[in-house]
Structure 1
Amino acid sequence: MPVDGTTTFRAAMASDADAIADLLTASWQESYAALLPAELLQRQLPGLHRAMWRTHFGAPRPGVVLLAEAADGLRGFCATWLDGGEAYVDYLHLRPGLRGGGLGRLLLGRAVAAVMAQGATHAALTIIEGNDGALRFYERLGGLAGAAYDAVLHGVPTRYRRIAWPDAGTMVSAC
C-alpha cells in the first residue's frame, strides 16, 4: 500500500535476502563507523549479513520482516520477532540518506502492529551504546532506556542498551 505515492510496504520473501543484507550492511557502515572497527564493517559484515539472512529465510522465526520499497529499490526494512508476549525489534534500517523523513517510524509501527496481531503485548529492542540518534528516536516514541551492558558482537566487545515499551500499542500509536 502506497504511503507517499511512491513507497509500498510488503512482507519479505526468501528472494529478498541479499537485498536486505546489502541494505543492512550499508546502514551499519554509515551508522556505526565511529562505534565499531572498520575491519568488521567493511570486510566481514557483507558476508556475515548475507549468510544470516539466507539462513533466516530457510527457517524463519515467528514475526515479520517488513520491507519499504519504491521504484528506486529497497528503502528500508524492519524485522520484528514474536518472543513470548514481546515484539522484539531486531532490525530497523533505512538505506543511507533516507533518515529523518518518517519512513523508519512508519516501518516500525507497521511491523510491531503485525506482531501484536500475532499476540505481542509489549515491545523492546537493543541499540549499540553511543548510537545517540537512535536513542533519541526511540525515546521520542515512548521507549524506556535501561542501563548499558557489555556483550560481544561478531567477536567485538560492545556495549548495548535495551529500550522497552511495556505496552506495544503505545509505540504503535506514537509511530
Structure 2
Amino acid sequence: MATVRFRVAEAEDAVAVAALLTASWQESYAGLLPAPLLRDRLPALHAAMWRDHFAAPRPGIVLLAEGEDGLRGFCAAWLEGTEAYVDNLHLRPGLRGGGTGPQLLGRAVAALMARGATRAALTIIEGNDGALRFYHRLGGMAGQPYDAELHGERVRYRPITWARADELVRACGAGG
C-alpha cells in the first residue's frame, strides 16, 4: 500500500483541490448530472469555488491526502453549531477502495469534534449508490430524499446523518 500523508490544505492548494473535485464528479456523477455541466461548466465553477473558499475560509477543515503520486483525495467539513457537516469527500478516480476515504473522513470529523462537534451529517446525490453503501457501512442513517438546485440543475439529495460523531470516527478507524 502506498504511503499517504495527511495535511490541512492551504490557499496554494486550491487549484489541485478543484481539479481533483472536477475529475471525481465527472466519474461519480456521469448519468446523474447533465453531461454539459460535468464536461463544460464544472472546471470553472470548482476553480472559483475553491479560490473563494481559501480567500475567506468557513469554520472547519479541508484535509488533504497526498502520496508520492500527488493529491490522492480530500475531505472538506464545516463546523455548523455542534454538527460536523461533510461537504466534500473525494478521491482521485481509480483510488477508491484503498482505505484513504475513511481515513480522510475520520480525521476531518475528529478535528471538528475537538472544536465541539458532537454529530455529523452530509448529503449525497440520489442515485449515487456507491456512496450510499459506503456511508451505510460507516453507520450513517439515510433520511428522506428532497429536491434542490445544484449549479442551476435540479437534483435530488439524500441526507445521511450520525447522531454521534465519535461513532463515525471510530467506524473510520481514525480513533476518537
TM over 0.5: yes
What corresponds to 1:172 in structure 2? 169
1:1-175 map, 5 Å: 6-175=3-172
Number of aligned pairs?
172
1:5: Cα distance to partner? 5.8
Supply the distance in 1 between the matched residues of 2:69 and 2:138 (Cα, whole angstroms). 28
Change (3 A) 1:5 1:23: closer
TM-score (norm 2): 0.96
Deviations 1:71-97 (A, max 9, x none): 110000000000000000000000000
1:6: Cα distance to partner? 1.7
Moved over 2 A (4+): none
Structure 1: state its 5+ residue gaps: none
TM-score (norm 1): 0.97
Supply the distance in 2 between the matched residues of 1:33 and 1:10 (Cα, whole angstroms). 30
